[in-house]
Structure formats: C-alpha cells, structure tokens
Amino acid sequence: MTLADNHRWLLQLTLLAACAANDGCHKTHQPSLKGNLRMSQPQPPLAAVRPHRVTIHGDSWVDPYFWLRDKKDPQVIAHLEAENAYTHAMLDHTKGLQDALYQEMLGRIKEDDTTVPAPRGEYLYYSRTEAQKAYRINCRRKRNGPEEILLDANKLAEGQKYTVVGTFAVSPDHRFLAYSVDHAGSERYTLFIKDLETGKLLPEQIKDTYYSVAWASDNKTIYYNTINEASRPYRLYRHTLGSDPAQDELVYQEDNAHFNLSAQRTRSGAYLLMTLHSAVTTEVHAIDASVGNAKPQLIHPRQQGMEYYVEHHGDVFYIRTNDGATNFKLVKVATSAPQKANWVEVIAHRDDQMLADVDAFRSHLVLSVREQGLPKLIIKPLTGGEPHAIAFDEQAYDVYLTSNLEFDSATLRFSYTSLTTPESVFDYQMDHKTRVLRKVDPVLGYDKTVYRTERLMARAKDGTQIPISLVSHKDTPRDGSAPMLLNGYGSYGYSFDANFNANWISLLDRGFIVGIAHIRGGGEMGRAWKEAGKFAHKVNTFTDFIACAEHLIAEKYTSPSKLAIAGRSAGGLLIGAVLNMRPDLFGAAIAGVPFVDVLNTMLDDTIPLTVIEWEEWGNPNTRPAYDWIKAYSPYNNVKAQAYPHLLVTAGLNDPRVGFWEPAKWVAKLRTHKTDDHWLLLKTHMGAGHGGESGRYGKLRDRALEFAFLVDRLGR
C-alpha cells in the first residue's frame, strides 16, 4: 500500500466514524470497510434522517434534516467535519493544480502596494500592504511629512484565525481613531478608540456594535449602532470619550423588526444622518453634529413603500426619493423646515435613467445614474452652468466614487474598471472637465490586448432582453468547445457590474470564457428591473439566467457539458433554483454560502434578517407568498434527477445565511440525485459569510474553486 493509499484509507476511517456519530448513515450508501481498504475515492458522508414536520396553511411536509441547524450539537459539527474531510479527499488529486493556480494568482499581485492618498485637511490618508502580510495597514502623513501608522490589521490578527476590521473613523481634529474588529465572522464587532497622539487605546471597549460609527464636531463624542439577538442593528448610542460605555446615552431605539438603523456623518460635517430602513421604506433623522447632546430631527415620517436618502449642503438638504418616481428624482428643502410639503424638485424622474446616488460638494452635485444597464457619472454645478457627463468608451464597465473625504473640493475621485481594465483611479476636475489618472491597480504580467469583451442580449421567456457581459482570451474558439463560467446574482436590486477580476485570468488562459448574466431582480436596468424579479415574479430571475445559458449554447460560446455556473448568497439561491429547473444545461456549479432553504428561513422570524427580508421574498405566513416561495425554494424542490458536479461552501458563524442551509441542501441532494457527479461541501469552521478574512486565505479559496472547475470540465 502506497503512502497515498494509506492516507486515503485513514481518511475513510475518519468518515466512517463521523457517519456512525451521526446516528447511522443510510445503509444503501454506507461504504464497506473491507472494500475501501484499497479504494482511491471515499464514499460521501450521509446525514441521519430525523423527520421534522412542518404544517402551515393546511399544507404539511417533512424536513428530514432540520436538526442540522444546531451548531451546539456535537453530531452536527462531526457531520460538517466529515463533509470537509470528504471534500479534501475528493480534491486531493488537484493539489498540484490548486498550488499552480494559487501561485499564478499570487504572482499577479503587487504584494507591497499603496492606495492613492486621499486628502483631508492637513493630512493624506491611505492604506498599504506588505509582502507576506495578509492584512492592510492604514496610514497617514502630513503633506510631504513622514508616515504615521494608524492601524495595522496584521497585528490585530496575531493569534487569531479570523480578523475583519469593520468601522474606521478618524475624529474631525485627526486626534482619535474609532475602529471595530470581528474575530469570528459573526459580524458582531467590538469598538475601540485609539489616541493617535500617544498611540494608546482608551480603556473603553464597546461590544456588539455594527457598521456605523460617526463623530460629533467636539471630537469627544461618537455615535455608534448596536445589534440585537437577531443581529438587527436597532439602537443608536452616544458615547463620550473616557466614560464608561455602560452609561452611554441611548439616542434612539428602533423597535419595528422590519427596520435597520444606521448613521453616518455628512461630507459637510454639519450633521449626522440616522437612517431607518426596511427593504422598501426609509425614514431619516438629522442630528446637529456641533451640539454634543443634540436630538434627532425627523425629516419625513416613514411612509410604506417610499424611500428617501439625504445629502447636506449649506442651508438645504438634497433628497433622492422614489416618491411618485420609480427611478427616483431629486428634491431640495431648507434644513430649518424639512417637511415634505416644502420639498422642491431639482431633477425630475426619468423612465430611461435610474438616479442611483447623489453626492454633495461645495460647488457641485455628483449624480450616479444607470442608463441602458451601465453606470454613469453626471456633474451638476451649483454655481451656474449645465450638467455634464463623464464619458467612458468601453461597452461594459463599472465606475464609482472613491475616497472623497473633503466637502470643499472641486476634484472628484472615482474608480473605473471593466472586464479587461484593472481598477483605475482618476481625479476629475469638475470645473475644467479634465481628468488625471492617478493609479492603475498593478496586475503583474497582464497584457490587456490579448483579451476581449463582449456584451450580448438574450431573449427571456416573456421577450425581455437580458444583457450578458463576457470576457475571453482572443484565441478562444467559438465552436461550442470552450468551457465557460457564467456568474449571476439577481436580488435586492443590486447590480452585478462588469468589474475586472485578476483571478479570472487563470481561467481565461486555460480557454475559459467568463460571463455575467445581468438578470432581473438586480438593478442593472433600473428599479423596474428589481421589481420584475421579486415576490411572485421571482421566477423571472431564474428563467432569465436559463435563457442566458441557452443563448450562449445556441451561439456556440460553449456547450452544456462545458458550462459552469456560480453565485454567492442570494446568487447561491439562483444556482440552486436553476439546477432544479434545468440541470441538463450545466456541467458544473459553485454555490457560495447559498440561500437555499428559503421557505424554512422565511418562516422563522428568530433568524437574522428574516423579518426585514419579507419585503424582498414575501412573508410565507400569508398563503400567496408561501405558495410562490415553496415553488422555487431549492431545498424544497430537490428531486430524483441527474445534477451536474457541485461545490458548495458555508461559514459556521455566518449571520446572513445560516451554515445549515447549504448543509441541509447537500444532505438532501445526496439522497435524491441519480448521477455519480461530485457533490462537495466545504464549511469554514471559524469564519462567516465572506469566508477567509486574509488575502492569502481568500486566494487559496479561489484556487480550490477554480481547480474544481478545471478538473470537472476537463480542461
């Protein structure tokens, strides 16, 4: 017996022991120890069946794997570890390929790199990375002065398996830094305050904070939000430096479980804006930043289905709202009398253009819009003159604002990227309409000229044209023989734009085509695009994706056996749904932290996000929503049929998609699928929704996923 055979035999014993701990695997699939002493491929672990009956609306069904949701149960952990061991064993022969892919991706990174410094007052703020260090180092310097390290996340990560910095906010006088850290992946952060003059931490530490921290103008008062047991941000506190956090003043508590609470300081520095938001409704309160104990000032009370977002400028608030405007419009109102009756329209609603965001500067407004599925930036002078758009040439791209820290500036910083253009940082002089390229993200060894991008349209079942963005090597044939990775999301109105991904080069150079299906449910084509892919219309998201796959096959970009698909979170729901509907279209799939147990999750209001997300998916406690969710929920619709090769990932501490959703889905697929294709589950046992926290760990994850694709698609 070789060393490799011995390793596999020992692994098989581990799997058998875990299977026994799970109260007995199904005997029809239980591997024979005698037969496996020389087997090179272990048998998969099978979860025990423990029937749990669900009855609602007169409908009754059995959930055989409901028990897998309890991570305090040692048998649950044993099953997840057995799945990890099985995945490790099945991918063992790809270790060389994984290492090669990792080295390729790492080799494209300039490991010691620095962001473009962003001016704020007398300082320039930036971050940098160092070779062999997994995390960023946040720094600043006075103009032409020496560097000052503000926060080195590598030091925070020492002795930790997982580290993420949440908030990072420097006080107006540049003296103090408020930052938060999560060491579990649960997105429950501990807030720290550092004196940047002494380099010492203040004694107070505040637990269970979320993503909002904002300074008042006195440089000694900070506002922060906290989360409840369901991980909903619901309270805003005010803290005075040096005081006991237990004595912090509760400024506001949001008791409606449909709403989250967040707060941020305006770019002008004059206000803190507390926003209460459900999936379809917002309510904003302004807090005077110059008064240490200021009370929130309501701008407009919540009105079901009405969203509005506020920017401050001088003596007015600019408000972007969908009130009578599906794609949003812009109004303004005096800060002294912000009631809706006083709102004055500044930019009218347009059916052909989505007003996605508004940023205020001293002499300009910057409008982020979406038109014909692409993002655009429009500059609107506030001192006279006509608005103008910043022009971009490529047929598929993304553009967004970055690091604009100063209100009194006529220079706009934005990033531009496309499927073939690495992120490029520009400074744009808004008065003179000139731009300066400040940096292109270095991608070592990359030659843009050997790759090409395309933008196609696929016809959906109802005739709607669905955009597809593609990138490939120029030598890749168009005869149906090329492997392809088609990505999708299609939820919450989020747009999956054509961003550069240096890791994809490893696939492109192996003959893959990589695509993005801009399906309904997302926001690429405006707010109506989102509405056409939610509630009872959610099935459009899945049939749109299928239509894109069919179009790509018909046009001979690829073939079913060569087509892989991928999606994360709600994109994982997409993958699960289309695999149930049309498994014959695909050769392989990757579902990252997939939201696949939709019906069970939406029926359980104790799970984080459930109540808020009723306005995205529907509340199954009502019969119509129950019926349409049950009709597509991937876990509920697994059936006896052949499925493609499938790699599924999960995070044990994930607060967004419970680890049990992918675990239950895989368990059910194992007992139903009629094929011998791979079905692998990898659970990060010390992380959350985003997987590994360090940049090298993330590359290892991508290398494993790409090795799975290359191996299974035979290229």
364 as an active site residue: the answer is no
User: Can you tell me the distance from the alpha carbon of 351 to that of 331, in angstroms, rounded to the nearest whole number?
Assistant: 17
Q: 378 and 367 in contact (C-beta within 8 Å)?
A: yes
Within 8 A by CB and 6+ apart from 413, the residues are 116, 118, 401, 402, 403, 404, 425, 426, 427, 428, 438
The amino acid present at 4, given as its one-letter code, is A
Number of H helices, E strands in the chain: 14, 37
- For tokens 């199954």, the residue is 620
Reduced to 3 states (helix: H, G, I; strand: E, B; else coil), residue 427 is: strand
Distance in angstroms (rounded) separating the CA atoms of residues 558 and 549? 9
* Helix residue ranges, H only, 440-565: 505-508, 527-531, 539-554
**Which residues are bridge partners to 194 per DSSP?**
177, 201
- Show the 3-state SS of 546-579: HHHHHHHHHCCCCCHHHEEEEEECHHHHHHHHHH
Q: Environment class of residue 642 by beta-carbon count within 10 Å: exposed (0-12), middle (13-18) or buried (19+)?
A: exposed
> How far lies 72's CA from each of 78, 603, 681, in Å?
11, 22, 20
Cβ atoms 404, 359 nearer than 8 A: yes
Q: Do you know the residue count of the chain?
A: 715
Strand order in the sheet with 397-401: 397-401, 411-418, 424-429, 434-440
- Asked whether 81 and 685 are in contact (CB, 8 A), the reply is yes
* Neighbour count for residue 39 (Cβ, 10 Å): 15
Choosing from 277, 300, 689, 711, which is the catalytic residue? 689
The Cα 507–Cα 564 span in angstroms is: 12
d(CA 690, CA 681): 16
Give me the torsion for CA of 477, 480, 482, 485, rounded to 10°.
Answer: 130
What is the rounded distance in angstroms from the CA atom of residue 74 to the CA atom of residue 55? Answer: 28
N-term to C-term CA, the chain:
31
Catalytic site includes residue 654: yes
Cα angle value 649/546/472 (rounded, 5°): 75
How many whole angstroms separate alpha carbon 213 and alpha carbon 236? 10
Active-site choice (418, 491, 569, 693)? 569
The H or E element containing residue 98 is helix 95-107
Catalytic residue among 248, 497, 597, 654: 654
SS3 string of 609-640?
Answer: CHHHHHHHHCCCCCHHHHHHHHHHCCHHHCCC
- For the record, the structure tokens of 658 come out as 């419970």
> Which residues form the catalytic set?
569, 654, 689
